[in-house]
Amino acid sequence: MTAGPAPTPRATPHASPRSTGHVVDDDTTGVPTFEASGGDWSDIAAEAAALGEERIVVNMGPQHPSTHGVLRLMLEIEGETVTEARAGIGYLHTGIEKNMEHRTWTQGVTFCTRMDYVAPLFQEAAYCLAVEKLLGITDDVPERATVIRVLMMELNRITSHLVCLATGGNELGATTVMTVGFTAREEILKVFELISGLRMNHAYIRPGGVAQDVPPGAVDSVREALVQVRHYLRQLEDIMLANPILQARLKDVGSLSLAGCMALGITGPVLRSTGLPYDVRKAAPYCGYETYDFDVPVDDGADCWSRLVLRLEECYQSMRIVEQCLDRLAATPAGPVMVADKKVAWPAQLAIGTDGMGNSLDHIREIMGTSMEALIHHFKLVTEGFRVPAGQVFQTVEHPRGELGVHLVSDGGTRPYRAHFRDPSFNNLQAVSMMCEGGQVADVVVAVASLDPVLGGVDR
**Interatomic CA distance for residues 87 and 448, integer angstroms:** 10
The share of the chain scoring above pLDDT 90, in percent, equals 46
Angle at 250 between CA 273 and CA 117, to 5 degrees: 65
- Let me know if residue 332 belongs to a domain: yes
Instruction: Kindly state the average pLDDT of the residues 316-331.
Output: 94
- Check residue 349 and give its pLDDT: 52
Residues 57 and 176 in one domain: no
CA separation (Å) from 81 to 1, 35, 330, 430, 436? 12, 21, 57, 20, 9
Residues 79 and 147 in one domain: no
CB 392 within 8 A of CB 414: no
- Let me know if residue 314 belongs to a domain: yes
- Let me know if residue 94 belongs to a domain: no
Question: What would the pLDDT profile of 18-40 be if each residue is shown by its tens digit?
Answer: 334 444 444 455 556 655 555 56
Higher-scoring residue by pLDDT: 249, 20:
249
Which residues have C-beta within 8 Å of that of residue 42, sequence separation ≥ 6?
Answer: 59
CATH number of the domain enclosing 409: 1.10.645.10
- Let me know if residue 66 belongs to a domain: yes
Residue 362 burial (CB < 10 Å; 0-12/13-18/19+)? exposed
CB 110 within 8 A of CB 117: no
Task: Give me the chain's average pLDDT, please.
Answer: 83
- Let me know if residue 455 belongs to a domain: no
Q: In the listed set 21, 53, 88, which residue is the last one of a domain according to the structure? A: 88
Number of domains in the chain: 2
Residues 116 and 75 in one domain: no
Residues 73 and 206 in one domain: no
Pairing of strands 12-14, 32-37: parallel
Bridge partners (DSSP) listed for residue 57: 76
Instruction: Kindly state the average pLDDT of the residues 400-412.
Output: 94
Q: Interhelix angle for 143-171 vs 442-451, to 10°? A: 180
Is 90 exceeded by the pLDDT of residue 364? no
**Interatomic CA distance for residues 360 and 365, integer angstroms:** 9
- Check residue 158 and give its pLDDT: 96
Q: What is the largest CA-CA distance in the chain?
A: 88
Residues 192 and 112 in one domain: yes
Residues 32 and 132 in one domain: no
Q: Give the distance, in angstroms, between the CA of residue 83 and the centroid of all CA atoms in the same chain.
A: 29
Residues 273 and 233 in one domain: yes
Determine the 3-state secondary structure of 13 from DSSP.
strand
Whether the pTM exceeds 0.85: the reply is no
Instruction: Kindly state the average pLDDT of the residues 201-209.
Output: 89
Higher-scoring residue by pLDDT: 342, 417:
417
Buried b (16+ CB within 10 A) or exposed e, 164-182: bbbbbbbbbebeebbebbb
Q: In the listed set 41, 60, 88, which residue is the last one of a domain according to the structure? A: 88
Nearest to 322 by CA among 409, 221, 423: 221
Higher-scoring residue by pLDDT: 345, 192:
192
Q: In the listed set 63, 88, 113, which residue is the last one of a domain according to the structure? A: 88
Bridge partners (DSSP) listed for residue 36: 13, 21
**Interatomic CA distance for residues 90 and 99, integer angstroms:** 17
Residues 316 and 415 in one domain: yes
Is 90 exceeded by the pLDDT of residue 185? yes
Residues 50 and 196 in one domain: no
Of the listed ranges 69-78, 270-279, 294-303, 322-331, the least confidently predicted one is 69-78
Residues 114 and 35 in one domain: no
Residues 318 and 182 in one domain: yes
- Check residue 8 and give its pLDDT: 39
Q: Which residues constitute the domain of residue 392?
A: 104-346+385-422
- Check residue 223 and give its pLDDT: 95
Residues 130 and 83 in one domain: no
- Let me know if residue 403 belongs to a domain: yes
Of the listed ranges 65-79, 298-312, 383-397, the least confidently predicted one is 65-79
DSSP 204-268: -EETTEESSPPPTTHHHHHHHHHHHHHHHHHHHHHHHTT-HHHHHHHTTSS---HHHHHHHT--T
Question: What would the pLDDT profile of 78-110 be if each residue is shown by its tens digit?
Answer: 888 888 888 888 888 888 999 999 999 989 999
- Let me know if residue 303 belongs to a domain: yes
Cis amide bond preceding 333, omega within 30 = no
**Interatomic CA distance for residues 401 and 312, integer angstroms:** 14
- Let me know if residue 330 belongs to a domain: yes
